[in-house]
């Protein structure tokens, strides 16, 4: 715990030395809360009275971020990003530093690209077709739908290539990362077929391509590779 506290204190000093950092005060408050929590635990362990009382051991976790911190992160566009877990994430897998660095940077690039490219908006258009098919409605294909699904397909192609390019040479258990590769490949295959169906305008092909059961595996496994506290958690699957 002392090592964790010291590491967080070093991180706090680095953040404090950046006066122009967006939402700096909010990040400092997050780190300070965790440091104070660790100080309390260390004090209990170091106390001469042993064993400690149950009330002393049950210190809970650091307090949830205040409304002001949440608002500051949202205003800076940092909600759901690495900054939000700066005081609580245990960090990446220590035994795989190269993988952790490359994968985290890859996720950051994907999230930034998707936000700037309005990925959520075009993905919503595709979802509307999925819902229409599920409800048994006829889909009158439009240029807007084709353009949206083209954008989604192209983004999944880039996401697939980005994830596949991450080096896993120092990752001992690659099963979770393989799941993530499978997710990217599945989404690329699905949206390739969906675009083809829309371009052909064949109702039966559109119905088959936009069947929701084709999304498999259902989602990413970031926790399995120690990245669930990083920007990876913000990559829509």
One digit per residue, pLDDT tens: the chain, 237 residues?
A: 777 778 778 878 887 887 777 777 887 887 788 788 778 777 777 775 556 665 555 555 556 667 777 777 777 677 777 766 666 665 666 678 899 889 999 999 999 999 899 899 999 999 999 999 999 999 999 999 999 999 999 999 999 999 999 999 999 889 999 999 999 999 999 999 999 999 999 999 999 999 999 998 789 999 889 888 888 988 988
189 Cβ contact list (under 8 Å, min separation 6):
none
Q: Are 227 and 103 in contact (CB under 8 A)?
A: yes
What is the rounded distance in angstroms from the CA atom of residue 192 to the CA atom of residue 187? 8
pLDDT at 48: 59
Q: Are 74 and 18 in contact (CB under 8 A)?
A: no
Q: Which of 65, 80, 1 is nearest to 28 (CA)?
A: 65
pLDDT at 39: 83
Q: Delimit the domains of the chain by residue range.
A: 2-85, 97-234
Q: Which of 162, 161, 180 is nearest to 171 (CA)?
A: 180
pLDDT at 93: 62
């Amino acid at each position: 715990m002392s090592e964790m506290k010291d590491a967080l204190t070093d991180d706090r000093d680095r953040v404090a030395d950046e006066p122009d950092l967006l939402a700096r005060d909010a990040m400092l408050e997050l780190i300070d809360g965790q440091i104070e929590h660790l100080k309390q635990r260390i004090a209990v362990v170091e106390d001469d009275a042993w064993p400690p009382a149950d009330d002393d051991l049950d210190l809970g976790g650091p307090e949830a971020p205040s409304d002001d911190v949440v608002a500051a992160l949202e205003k800076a566009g940092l909600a759901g990003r690495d900054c939000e877990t700066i005081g609580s994430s245990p960090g990446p897998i220590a035994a795989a530093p190269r993988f952790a660095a490359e994968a985290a940077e890859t996720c950051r690039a994907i999230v930034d690209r998707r936000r700037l490219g309005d990925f959520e908006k075009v993905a919503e258009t595709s979802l509307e077709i999925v819902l229409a098919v599920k409800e048994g409605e006829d889909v009158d294909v439009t240029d807007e739908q084709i353009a949206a699904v083209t954008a989604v397909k192209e983004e999944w192609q880039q996401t697939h290539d980005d994830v596949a390019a991450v080096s896993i040479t120092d990752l001992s258990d690659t099963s979770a990362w393989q799941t993530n590769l499978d997710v990217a490949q599945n989404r690329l295959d699905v949206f390739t077929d969906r675009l083809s169906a829309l371009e052909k305008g064949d109702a039966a092909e559109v119905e088959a391509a936009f069947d929701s059961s084709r999304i498999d595996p259902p989602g990413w496994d970031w926790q399995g590779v120690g990245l669930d506290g990083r920007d990876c958690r913000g990559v829509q699957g």
